[in-house]
Amino acid sequence: MSFNVAVAEKSGALSTTYVSYTPREVLTPTGIMRKSRKKTLYTIAACFVLGFILWTRYAAQFSEIALNSGKSNNKVAEKTASLISTGKPSVSMKYAKFFEGKDITKNGIFPLPERRKMIPQRPANSDIPLRFYKSEPGSNPHDYEYLLNPYDICASEEEVFLLVMIASASWEFERRKLIRDTWASQQAQGQAIKYVFFVGNDNKPKNRIKLKEEFKEFNDLVLQDFDETYRNLTLKTIGQLKWGTHFCPNMRFALHIDDDVFGQVNDIVSYLLGIKASRYLGCSKVFHPIVRREGKWDMSREDYPGEQYPLGCVGWCFAMSRDVMNELYYMALDTPLIHLEDVSTTGILREKIGITGVTKMPGDEKWCQHLGWPKDKPVEQKLFESWQSYSNAQL
């Protein structure tokens, strides 16, 4: 049997061409039956094949779980479990076992780390004025809203060995891009390292849009709702301590670093791997500054009624263990802050939590190269050059 089938020509809908078409099979009632039986058989066969494929896949995963019931395979385990129970991955599958039973929210991962009861310390020879010991508990709540918050990035790991908290200015888009492509790409020796940028609010709608886009693309940016000013840098540092405490409870160490510093993270990690103490604070550079009443580092007598600041880390780079980070944060809630963020954090708060003296990290400040001064070249250019010579030296 043959039909004439009309085929509209592509070019002109007006003319119609007829071509001869012969169907392969004539559809009689028995033919249709035969066809559908065939279909059923094919379907059953396909199901068997699919079932076999799935079985081999998950059987492999099950035996893997059985073999490695330890923590290393919990990701696979969770993934498999959720696939089996619901047929498709559930939202919680990406979280590591450490976070089982925890409530992962944009306001924190609950329960929050416990605040250890401690009496603020003041060594006999302390440089710190009594003012910093007299304020009401909770007088400094640091409750700035998170406008952007990659709140669950630590939850994908069983342990984050190093949380790198980069203090950046909201408008430094290019610099952050460069940092991501250079030194913040270091992933030392199979340790989980997370890089997070911290910025304040410059109240510019254009920048806000760009920050949102950046956040969507990289999910590594915390935007907190306080004014992005030089004098608010202390808030940024306290904000880092808070964020680490609330959203990264599975970290070993944190590194506070500025965005005009070149960080040799692999070297820092190698060094920190050897530190077993649970309380550790290490500075790239130690200082013991005197109080200035004018200039860039001016300080009012009201804010700091003394002539000498305590010993501390220079603010552009210091490392701390999780315990120290939590304690510094909680102590900050009860302590008046001054606008010098390094003195505030690694001087005053450090002494109050009972860490006497400061440790200098090795590396001759090479592990954290400050590129802000002199201002002979743009920081971006120096960052790039440092990265080039560093990565060439690694080859």
Ligand X SMILES: *[C@@H]1O[C@H](CO)[C@@H](O)[C@H](O)[C@H]1NC(C)=O
Residues that bind ligand X (CB under 6 A): 226-227, 229, 231-232
Q: In three state form, how does the secondary structure of the chain look?
A: CCEEEEEECCCCCCCEEEEEECCCCCCCHHHHHHHHHHHHHHHHHHHHHHHHHHHHHHHHHHHHHHHCCCHHHHHHHHHHHHHHHHCCCCHHHHCCHHHCCCEEECCEEECCCCCCCCCCCCCCCCCCCHHHHCCCCCCCCCCCCEEECCCCCHHHCCCEEEEEEEECCCCCHHHHHHHHHCHHHCCHHHCCEEEEEEEEECCCHHHHHHHHHHHHHHCCEEEEEEECCHHHHHHHHHHHHHHHHHHCCCEEEEEEEECCEEECHHHHHHHHCCCCCCCCEEECCEECCECECCCCCECCCCCCCCCECCCEECCCEEEEEHHHHHHHHHHHCCCCCCCCHHHHHHHHHHHHCCCCCCEECCCCCCCEEECCCCCCCCHHHHHHHHHHHHHHHHC
| C-beta of residue 377 within 8 angstroms of C-beta of residue 267 | no
Nearer to ligand X, 186 or 232 (CB): 232
The least CB distance from residue 229 to ligand X, in Å, is 3
Nearer to ligand X, 239 or 249 (CB): 239
How far from 151 is each of 40, 90, 144, 228, 249, CA to CA, in Å? 50, 18, 15, 21, 12
How far from 67 is each of 63, 72, 132, CA to CA, in Å? 6, 11, 55
The tokens describing 394, both together, are: 């690694």
The least CB distance from residue 108 to ligand X, in Å, is 20
Quote the CA–CA distance of 183 and 165 in Å, as a whole number.
Answer: 13
The least CB distance from residue 233 to ligand X, in Å, is 9
Nearer to ligand X, 303 or 323 (CB): 303
Quote the CA–CA distance of 262 and 25 in Å, as a whole number.
Answer: 74
Nearer to ligand X, 78 or 228 (CB): 228
Nearer to ligand X, 149 or 232 (CB): 232
Nearer to ligand X, 166 or 337 (CB): 337
Q: Which amino acid is at 300?
A: S
Q: Residue with structure tokens 């160490």?
A: 253
Nearer to ligand X, 95 or 243 (CB): 243
Nearer to ligand X, 113 or 239 (CB): 239
Nearer to ligand X, 194 or 242 (CB): 242
